[in-house]
Structure 1
Amino acid sequence: MRNASPSLARRLVRSLRTSLFVQVACALVAGVLVGALWPHVGTVVQPLGDGFVRLIKAMIAPLVFCVVVTGIAKAGDLKAFGRIGVKALLWFEAATTVALVVGLVAGNLVRPGDGMNVDPASLDTAAVDAKTGGGELPSTSEFLLHSLPDSAVGAFAENSLLQVLVLACLVGAAVLHLGLTKVPAILPAVGQAQEVVFAVVGFIMRLAPLAVFGATAHLVGEYGLGALSTYGKLIGVCYAVALVFLMVLGVALKAVTGVSLWKFMRYTREELLLAMGTASSETVMPRMMQKLRQAGCRDDAVGLVLPTGYSFNLDGASIYLSIATLFIAQAVGVDLSLSQQITVVLVLMLTSKGMAGVPGSAFLALSATASALGVIPAGAVALLLGVDRIMDTMRVVTNLLGNCVAVFVVSRWEGALDRVRARKVLDGEIPFVPDPDESDAPGEPADRKAEPEPANSATGG
């Protein structure tokens, strides 16, 4: 018995030294405490989180390019890649619509804005302009046009995922067209570049606890806990709806692929906690791509579906926008009819697609929705200034898990999912190895092509 405490202490120290999850969890707790006790310190340590996000973002564009090019080349079929893209867009639209509708239903049932009786004239609309930088969301045509690069170097310099995806698809298609005999050095070079990028990401990930500490301390120090009392009902509704939506996604994932969302969350707990702490899903995109590939999803499906989802599949943002629209309407005493709420869904289905990468995009989308309805004062959007940052955790986690579910579903739909490997990885039989070259278990093919399904199993279409 006397040796129990020293043994436990040694295990805790070893976990703190070797487990990213434990390190990030401790940093999260420390950030909350520092932000609450010494708010001014939060501003001082904020650059820790901002610097980490910048470093990770620098690696995303080259990583996406390498994964997509090698994925197309390994698949050897450009038509299959096109089918993956179409199926991904269909899934994205269906999931986003469900998220919007579920949000509107919850907003009508709970009515989080009732009783506030806010006079829009008393709100500071200048604060919204400062938040958005006076910008506006791009139109559908502008969004589609901007997704096409006008400079190969510019696509990487601007870190535009859609433009990098377009370039990668063109390069991958060219490699297939020319054949490996004409361009024998291309794929090995791209593969080696991918290994270098993953290695750099591994170095940066060691700074994750510092990033989470800085970002959390700044959040708590700047916004405090006062917003929880003022906007408690709105926060509770949004988080509860996000939980219900994730449960629905989990059921759909299990039914279509046999994969457990809970086991996947346990498998990616470090990445989820890091995304929560930094309020950015981009910080974990490289690691999520690695983990999805090692969990049996084929390279081309991961390389196309996950990055595209960051622009087209913002489930958490859709939930927040639908509930927030009803909240500000109820707060200023406006009752929206059924036809007006249908208009909300249609407008948000379009505006949510152009949100990624736009400063203050949530406020711009809400302002566009208010303008389309014509009955909600645009200044009422300022009501959400005090709570928007607190919603980031819900939006980030829901967006991230929604995109990962999309990867599994589309992979299964296209026959690009190795379900046997997925089960082994999520059950812990095959451990995660950060180096992609060492991730395959002995005797398994390096490209992890989907294993043939039993004759009586359901097909993905």
Structure 2
Amino acid sequence: MLIRRAARLLRTSLFTQVAVALVLGVIVGRLWPDAGTSLQPLGDGFTRLIKTVIAPLVFCVVVTGIAKAGNLKAFGRIGVKALVWFEVASTFALLIGLVAANVIGPGNGMHADPAKLDPSAVDTKTGGGHLLSTSEFILNALPTSAVGAFADNSVLQVLVLACLVGAALLHLGTKVPAVLPAVEQVQDVIFTVVGYVMRLAPIAVFGAAASLIGQYGLKVITTYGKLIAVCYAVALLFLVLLAVALRLLTGLSLWQFVRYTREEMLLALGTASSETVMPRMMEKLRAAGCRDDAVGLVLPTGYSFNLDGASIYLSVGTLFIAQAVGVDLSLSQQITVVLVLMLTSKGMAGVPGSAFLALSATASTLGVIPAGAVALLLGVDRIMDSMRVATNLLGNCVAVFVVSRWEGALDTERARSVLAGESVADAPSEPAAQDEAQEEQPVTAGG
């Protein structure tokens, strides 16, 4: 009986398939490191397939969201409120990381000699790239061509295009009656494609886990055990505080949301990439009562502006490096660390080795930490991916719920029912707007 049940779960449950694949990947990587390392293309191939649909999916969801909401001003308010939440959350993550690193001192006693470290190893990790300045970041968010935005898979550029197209549909109204239904149909096709690709998720997790353990082994945990423990403990504390904020502001449970999205969470952890689950998360947030325009704007934007896990890692990592080489940072220098990381942590997504670029920029700004000291984190960076991915992903999903609630774009009753596992209609609800602007009827023919 138990064997039959286990076989049925393995056949029908994506969560079970991914969990088994993760365990098998760890075993293969531990017993046959060379073979495990060679399996990395399995994970990379899956990530590529998912990335091909992210840009068109974001475009479709945002366009339909604006058109159905019928109010561009409301969409603008959602964007502003999202940015405010992102800044508060990521800054709070930075501060918690700094406090924990000061109290526990993960780098104390290492007595590392920067002269023996190889700064060129960091250049290899980052590919010789650099973090964008504020002006470069803004310019890069503006598309140079419609085709280029999709070809480069630049989510911010696609968002700008989607906003323009959505605004145009609102303005033209009944003059283009076939456009909105066509966009909705393309969206349905994309979600179907995502469903097909997700069947390969267990293979991807197996390859990614085997490669990680095969390449780094388990010895890194003993070498950097204190740093790893501090980062993961701070991330857990941050998520607990995030759960409290979600409960107070929306009445929803973060733990129920984690259970609701357990397949996506496990897949993100297994592949060490939150991008692999963006399409599925958008679909589940819509099904949980968040309106299309809020989901389509807040979640993709959060992937660039709301990297809470990365903020924790950067703040703890900076103090770890300073402590490891025997540099005692004053209060004013630590305030400088926060201010610098508030800027450098934005727009890190998609930049190779962005964490090391941000750490190098912070070290250079302080002027008291040797540049080569950043190489101390090369051996542990990959182990931190799970913490960063889980914290970033949950932080962005909480932002969707909170901003949707603030803007009246959340069907709270539906959200409670879905997160509690109760049966509801398949189609995501379109919650009634709660202010005068949102009560206006959509002017598009398709709405």
* Superposition pairs of residues 369-388 of structure 1, within 5 angstroms: 369-388=362-381
What CA RMSD, in Å, does the superposition of the two structures yield over aligned residues? Answer: 1.1
230, 235, 240: which one aligns with 1:242: 235
- 2:426 corresponds in structure 1 to 439
Give 4+ residue runs of structure 1 displaced > 4 Å after superposition. Answer: 450-453
1:43 CA displacement: 2.2
- 1:458 corresponds in structure 2 to none
SS at match of 1:394: helix
- 1:129 corresponds in structure 2 to 123
Q: Is the 8 A contact 2:269 2:386 kept in 1?
A: yes
Q: Is the 8 A contact 1:418 1:451 kept in 2?
A: no
- 1:211 corresponds in structure 2 to 204
Code of the residue aligned with 2:67 in structure 1: it is A
Q: Is the 8 A contact 1:140 1:354 kept in 2?
A: no
* Superposition pairs of residues 61-100 of structure 1, within 5 angstroms: 61-100=55-94
- 1:449 corresponds in structure 2 to 431
1:450 CA displacement: 4.2
Q: Is the 8 A contact 1:420 1:451 kept in 2?
A: no
SS at match of 1:417: coil
- 1:102 corresponds in structure 2 to 96
User: How many Å separate the matches in 1 of 2:106 and 2:374?
Assistant: 15
- 1:278 corresponds in structure 2 to 271
Q: TM-score, normalised by structure 1?
A: 0.93
User: How many Å separate the matches in 1 of 2:297 and 2:310?
Assistant: 21
1:290 CA displacement: 0.5
CA 1:447–1:185 in 2, change beyond 3 Å: closer, same or farther?
farther
- 2:5 corresponds in structure 1 to 11
341, 348, 355: which one aligns with 1:355: 348
User: How many Å separate the matches in 1 of 2:367 and 2:276?
Assistant: 38
- 2:443 corresponds in structure 1 to none
Partner deviation per Cα, 1:306-345 (whole Å, 9 max, x = no partner): 0000000000000000000000000000000000000000
317, 322, 331: which one aligns with 2:315: 322
- 1:407 corresponds in structure 2 to 400
1:452 CA displacement: 6.8
The yes-or-no answer on 1:29 pairing with 2:20 is: no
* Superposition pairs of residues 248-263 of structure 1, within 5 angstroms: 248-263=241-256
SS at match of 2:84: helix
1:117 CA displacement: 0.5
383, 394, 401: which one aligns with 2:387: 394
* Superposition pairs of residues 149-188 of structure 1, within 5 angstroms: 149-179=143-173, 181-188=174-181
* Superposition pairs of residues 289-328 of structure 1, within 5 angstroms: 289-328=282-321
Q: Is the 8 A contact 1:68 1:299 kept in 2?
A: yes
User: How many Å separate the matches in 2 of 1:354 and 1:13?
Assistant: 44
1:45 CA displacement: 1.5
1:447 CA displacement: 4.3
User: How many Å separate the matches in 2 of 1:154 and 1:17?
Assistant: 40
CA 1:176–1:71 in 2, change beyond 3 Å: closer, same or farther?
same
Code of the residue aligned with 1:30 in structure 2: it is L
1:128 CA displacement: 0.7
User: How many Å separate the matches in 1 of 2:295 and 2:11?
Assistant: 31
SS at match of 1:354: coil
Q: Is the 8 A contact 2:314 2:341 kept in 1?
A: yes
1:362 CA displacement: 0.3
1:46 CA displacement: 1.2
- 2:438 corresponds in structure 1 to none
User: How many Å separate the matches in 2 of 1:451 and 1:85?
Assistant: 16
User: How many Å separate the matches in 2 of 1:169 and 1:439?
Assistant: 27
SS at match of 1:297: coil
User: How many Å separate the matches in 2 of 1:159 and 1:414?
Assistant: 29
SS at match of 1:265: helix
SS at match of 2:345: helix
User: How many Å separate the matches in 2 of 1:41 and 1:60?
Assistant: 31
1:354 CA displacement: 2.5
1:430 CA displacement: 2.4
Partner deviation per Cα, 1:338-380 (whole Å, 9 max, x = no partner): 0000000000000011211100000000000001101001100
Code of the residue aligned with 1:165 in structure 2: it is L
The yes-or-no answer on 1:195 pairing with 2:177 is: no
Q: TM-score, normalised by structure 2?
A: 0.96
Q: Is the 8 A contact 2:411 2:429 kept in 1?
A: no
Partner deviation per Cα, 1:420-447 (whole Å, 9 max, x = no partner): 000110111126xxxxxx713xxxxx64
SS at match of 2:312: helix
User: How many Å separate the matches in 1 of 2:169 and 2:40?
Assistant: 44
Code of the residue aligned with 2:47 in structure 1: it is V
User: How many Å separate the matches in 1 of 2:141 and 2:289?
Assistant: 29
User: How many Å separate the matches in 2 of 1:243 and 1:161?
Assistant: 28
1:20 CA displacement: 0.4
1:44 CA displacement: 2.3
User: How many Å separate the matches in 1 of 2:165 and 2:285?
Assistant: 23
Unaligned runs of 5+ in 2: 436-447
Q: Is the 8 A contact 1:298 1:450 kept in 2?
A: no
User: How many Å separate the matches in 2 of 1:131 and 1:66?
Assistant: 35
- 1:434 corresponds in structure 2 to none
1:34 CA displacement: 0.3
1:150 CA displacement: 0.5
The yes-or-no answer on 1:40 pairing with 2:34 is: yes
SS at match of 1:334: coil
SS at match of 2:430: coil
User: How many Å separate the matches in 2 of 1:85 and 1:42?
Assistant: 43
User: How many Å separate the matches in 1 of 2:433 and 2:182?
Assistant: 28
